Amino acid sequence: MTHSSHRLVTMRLPKDLISQIENSARAQDMAPAEIIRTALTDALMKGAASIPTRLTQRVAITRAFDLADGWLDLQTQLRALGFVLRHDPDGKLSLNEWPSNQHLCKLEEIGQSQTELTTRYRAPFPGLQPEAAHMPVFRSKRTSGMSSAA
């Protein structure tokens, strides 16, 4: 007698991917969970050798983010894995391959938040101006250019 078991698995997915899954499910008149199961089964059945490698890399990248105690430490750990963080033209951070510097994805696409990291490391990513890093700029209450009456 064969026994089939189903386990509930919780996954964090980027909002844009969830939206794509929902759109695909509507278009195919299927449940979103079925779309996910089908996509995963198809990818695994095709013998996609890169899937285990990508999963291993993803785990290592997540671990680097979890363990790093600052931007320099994070960059050092990522470079050891063959990755690096870089600024996008819009001031956002992206994960790039190292040393080719080829863009892979935005930070949010791997479940990381630039704002949370800036708060955690108590500084914006090196090279970003406070305005670009969405950090408040505190100005002195002193005013310059005041002349005293003679």
Taking only the tens place, the pLDDT of each residue in 55-107 is 788 889 999 999 999 999 999 999 999 999 999 888 889 999 999 999 999 99
CA-CA distance, 83 to 61, in Å (whole number)? 9
- Cα–Cα distances (Å) from 93 to 8, 87, 110, 120, in that order, read 33, 5, 11, 16
Taking only the tens place, the pLDDT of each residue in 118-129 is 999 999 999 865
| Token digits of residue 125 | 């990513």
Q: Is the pLDDT of residue 17 over 50?
A: yes
Name the average pLDDT for the chain: 79
Percent of the chain whose pLDDT exceeds 70: 73
